[in-house]
Amino acid sequence: MPAPPAKTDPRAIRREVDLWTAFWDQVNYIPDGHKLKGCIQCGTCTGSCPVSYAMDITPREVVALFRAGHLEEILNSRTIWLCASCYSCTVRCPSGIRVTDTLYALKRLAIEKNIYPKNFPVYALSKLFIENIYKYGRNFETGLGARYLLKTSPGGLFKSAGFGMKMFSKGRLPVKPERIKRIHEVRAIIDKAKQLGGA
Amino acid sequence: MEFAYYTGCSLDSTAKPYDQSCREVFKVLDIGLKDIDDWNCCGATMYMSVDNLVAYSVSARNLAIAKQSGCKEICAPCSSCYTILQKTNKYVEWDPYARSMINEALSAANLSYPETIKVRHPLDILVNDIGIEEIVRKSPYRLDGIKVAPYYGCQIVRPEPMFDDMDNPTTMDRLLTALGAEVVDYPAKVRCCGGMLMTTYTDVALNLNNDIISSAVEAGAEVIATLCPLCQMNVESYQSQINSKYGTNHNMPTAFFTQLVGLALGINPKLLGLDTMLIPVPSRRVKANGEGVTV
């Protein structure tokens, strides 16, 4: 017989602790990951970021929120999915924090825990991308873009049609995916790495 | 001199002209490129967002196969491939535990992590191995009077300074200047093009590219020279959308730097893929022997 539900729901608290542990597991994969603790909240990362103007939480605030124990709030924000990986913040951080890699760690945490911002399905692109690699061993750009838009905003697919036709007419848009010969090698490596624990 | 050539997914499709021009230029300069047999996608920024160990293992398969070909160095023209392959080497160097895990994953395909294989960008190879003087010596033409804005983007200069300055790189500037082009200085040369944001958050990416193009226009450039397939596509292909959104009037040709070098080297524009660019690239050149004949 299942245990009766607890009167006060402790899920919320457990979740934050759980996220905290999982986050540090991810950060420990980053060279100098521990330097995150040395953030001086100067805001150089936010100032250097070309897309911070469109973020709901700035990179500096990400670190502040994490310290205050609000990881879930970070994962619910658009910020980590807006990072285009330009590394401007990373090379300028006076405390030597690899901010871009930290945002990657947060992306992995979000995917692991299935926590995403509302109405902002950018993470779906990463998932489709890795499906492509497992299927073909390569990234089939045409199919990737089309599938992503079909899934997230079919209107966008219509808008991109002009671009697609232009590229196609110049022979720069393949219509068929190409599978590598030894795809079994790629799949074996992926399977094995996942089995080893991934992260 | 021979390099293991890592084409990468983009150069195999949307950036074909980059692949063509790179191969042609290397051929004329007598640098061997040996295709990495049956290479797979490097994983780009995407796999890194999903799983760290899998991402590095997938990328490491390419390093392992490249090493088997007998080459000591890889030539990777795409900025994203370049950074990811580079990062894989760094990661393994930094963390012995990661090395053993990656090796174990590779062993599932009877491969192992190669201890030393360097990852190089064609710009680095041309300027630092061949040398600007040598390239000028071998160039029957000069790009006199073409005003070029060299655009470096992100992942060639960051996160590690591999062969140039992170804030003000000049390798491409020096090369193109020596070939006769008039290189303009503009503040957006290392600004981000948005990468995949063009698909996922178009508004932001259009804004970024408008900044880059406007800045080049203001500096008087008539062509932007790129060294990354994604930068090239973002800067070149969305100008009509930028124009209707911002009321601008951009029609800025966007070439791969290898196409411009190829022109000076006297290579047929068609072989450089110049006929497949969406906005025609200025390809006038002058004979270097002083006869001043424009071709």
Last residue of a domain, one of A89, A113, A137: A113
Place A9 in a pLDDT band, splitting at 50, 70 and 90. low
- Enter the tokens of residue B67: 């090493």
| Beta carbon pairs, A and B, within 8 Å | 193
pLDDT of residue A29: 80
* A134 and A187 inside one domain: yes
All domains of chain B, ordered by start, with CATH? 2-120 (1.20.1050.140), 132-287 (3.40.50.11810)
Asked, for residue A95, whether it belongs to a domain, the answer is yes
Mean pLDDT for chain A overall = 87
CA–chain centroid gap for B191, Å, is: 15
* A35 and A89 inside one domain: yes
Mean pLDDT across the stretch B184-212? 95
Calculate how close chain A gets to B273, using CA atoms only, in Å. 10
Per the listing, tokens 């983007």 go with: B153
* A24 and A59 inside one domain: yes
pLDDT of residue A7: 52
We report the CATH number of the domain holding residue A39 as 1.10.1060
CA–chain centroid gap for A21, Å, is: 18
* A109 and A131 inside one domain: no
* A138 and A173 inside one domain: yes
* A196 contacts B107? CB cut-off 8 A: no
Last residue of a domain, one of A65, A90, A113: A113
% of chain B exceeding 90 in pLDDT: 86
Q: Which residue from A107, A178, A189 is facing B58, i.e. has the nearest CB?
A: A189
Last residue of a domain, one of A94, A113, A132: A113
Residue B124's alpha-carbon distances to B119, B130, B182, in angstroms, are 10, 9, 21
CB atoms within 10 A of CB B140: 12
* A96 and A15 inside one domain: yes
Measured between CA atoms, the residue of chain B closest to residue A177 is: B13
Q: What ipTM was predicted for this assembly?
A: 0.92
- Domain tally for chain A? 2
* A109 and A16 inside one domain: yes
pLDDT for B255 beyond 90: yes
| A68-77, A85-94, A165-174, B150-159: segment of lowest average pLDDT | A165-174
Encode pLDDT of A76-104 as tens digits: 999 999 999 999 999 999 999 999 999 99
CB atoms within 10 A of CB B244: 10
Asked, for residue A4, whether it belongs to a domain, the answer is no
Q: Which residue from A26, A145, A186 is facing B199, i.e. has the nearest CB?
A: A145
pLDDT for B123 beyond 80: yes
Asked, for residue A6, whether it belongs to a domain, the answer is no
Asked, for residue A1, whether it belongs to a domain, the answer is no
| A41-55, A120-134, B222-236, B260-274: segment of lowest average pLDDT | A120-134
* A168 and A132 inside one domain: yes
* A65 and A138 inside one domain: no
Residue of A147 and B58 predicted with greater confidence:
B58
DSSP for residue B287: E
Q: Dump the DSSP string for B233-280.
A: HHHHHTHHHHHHHH-------EEEHHHHHHHHTT--TTTTTGGG-SSP
Asked, for residue A162, whether it belongs to a domain, the answer is yes
User: How far is Cα B234 from Cα B24, in angstroms, rounded to an integer?
Assistant: 24
Mean pLDDT across the stretch A106-122? 90
Mean pLDDT across the stretch A9-38? 82
pLDDT of residue A171: 87
Asked, for residue A2, whether it belongs to a domain, the answer is no
Asked, for residue A69, whether it belongs to a domain, the answer is yes
* A88 and A174 inside one domain: no
Encode pLDDT of B18-50 as tens digits: 999 999 999 999 999 999 999 999 998 888 899
* A30 and A58 inside one domain: yes
* A81 contacts B13? CB cut-off 8 A: no
Mean pLDDT across the stretch A56-77? 93
* A75 and A157 inside one domain: no
pLDDT of residue A160: 78
pLDDT of residue B267: 97
| Structural domain boundaries enclosing A149 | 123-195
β-pairing, B141-142 with B147-150?
A: unpaired
* A145 contacts B13? CB cut-off 8 A: no
CB atoms within 10 A of CB B11: 23
Mean pLDDT across the stretch B234-249? 96
Mean pLDDT for chain B overall = 94
Q: Which residue from A87, A184, A196 is facing B101, i.e. has the nearest CB?
A: A196
User: How far is Cα B29 from Cα B18, in angstroms, rounded to an integer?
Assistant: 16
Strand, coil or helix: B224: strand
Asked, for residue A181, whether it belongs to a domain, the answer is yes
pLDDT of residue B295: 47
